[in-house]
Every structure is written in structure tokens, then in C-alpha cells.
Chains A and B, each alone.
Chain A
Amino acid sequence: AQSVTQLDSQVPVFEEAPVELRCNYSSSVSVYLFWYVQYPNQGLQLLLKYLSGSTLVKGINGFEAEFNKSQTSFHLRKPSVHISDTAEYFCAVSVGSSASKIIFGSGTRLSIRP
């Protein structure tokens, strides 16, 4: 069965510092991977996704993620964070041939210190 593990429940960083949010998945078949962001009191918004092709995926707001099949990881990175990046970040994997079902990780709260 597919699953997603986000290793850090909280990540505090200083403004303008780099950040990496870790995500590992388990699956016996090809997967499609996503990162979603949830700002306070809002719904989820897609940051980026990996379907196929280049393993380095660039998303919105300066975020990028790298798909590593050998390590079954899809870590999210940003070279310099802003206060506005404070949010909950969810890694997700889609399953099945139609890939309509998404399994979410438990989320990582990114808090930015001035």
C-alpha cells in the first residue's frame, strides 16, 4: 500500500534562510507526487507536482522539489524564505491507474522567525 511520511512536524527557520521539508513515500508502482500548501484558515493550494520527466520540479513562490526514486524521496526546498511562507505544507502521492485518489502526509508546519 502507498504511504507518505513527512519526517518533521514543525520546522522553524529564520527569514531569508534556506529550508528543506522532507518527504518520503512508499509505493510498489509508479507514483505521482505533489506538494500542497495550506495558509492559516484556508484550503490547500498546489505548490508543485511530479508526474514524469525531469526529477527537479519548480513550483510557485520560489519552491522546488527533487524526485529521488532510489531514496523514495520528494523533498521540498526554498533557498530563501519569507514571513509569508508561514504555513502548513503537505506532501502527497496519488495512487491507482486513474490516479484520482491522493494520500496526504501528516503535514509540516513551517514557521518563519524575523
Chain B
Amino acid sequence: DTAVSQTPKYLVTQMGNDKSIKCEQNLGHDTMYWYKQDSKKFLKIMFSYNNKELIINETVPNRFSPKSPDKAHLNLHINSLELGDSAVYFCASSHTTSGGPGGEQFFGPGTRLTVL
């Protein structure tokens, strides 16, 4: 099926650990995103990559490092996890034409991260 997939779906870990979340899209899109959704459902963009280049980097601690090995993948690595990192992380992708309106963003199912 064509979609945006994320692994793992659930991630429970201890404070101070390092973890990664993987994202893949097979929609042929050129732009990928990471969002964080907190316990109050507030959704905030963290990063965006267009053709493997970082184009959006919101105010995110540098413990968070996105990596895009190719256009179809955007992984999120988090160092020294803290309690406040507990949230649901969503990956998304879209096809964005230069100078034109953004296309629909397709979201993955989310990864629920719990830091103990």
C-alpha cells in the first residue's frame, strides 16, 4: 500500500537514553516533516526536509537530529531523552512545487514516545 509508515508505533524508554524513530514514504513526495503532538493534542512542526535538504528547523533542542538518507526516508534521532520529550511524534510528506501552494500533507500513524 502507498503510505507514510513509521516505526516503532510505541516506544517506552528511560531518561537519558538515545532512541530513533524511522519514517518512510512511498508516495514519491519531495518533502518530509516531523511533528510533535503533546498531551493536549497541540501539533507543532519540528523539521522539514525538501529533497534531503533541511528547510524548516523550528526551535527544537539540538538533542533532536533528523537525518534524511534519501527522499523517501526521514529519521529522527533523539539523544539524552527527557521526561518532557514524551509525546506522539508524527511524520508527514507532501509534494511541494517551488513557488506554488503546498500540497496535501500525508501523515503517518504516529509514534507514541514515553520517557520514564
- A contacts, CB < 8 Å to B: 32, 34, 36, 38, 41-46, 49, 51-52, 88, 90, 94, 97-104, 106-107, 109
Contacts and interface: CB of A to CB of B under 8 A. Distances in A.
B101 A32 contact: yes
Interface residues of B, number: 28
Contact of B96 (A38, A44, A49, A100): A100
B86 interface: no
Q: Is the interface of A mostly helix, strand, loop or mixed?
A: strand
Contact of B101 (A88, A99, A107): A99
Contacts of B55: 100
Contacts of B44: 104
Contacts of A88: 41
Q: Give the 7 A-B residue pairs with the shortest CB-CB distance, closest first.
A: A43-B107, A99-B102, A44-B107, A104-B43, A100-B96, A107-B41, A94-B102
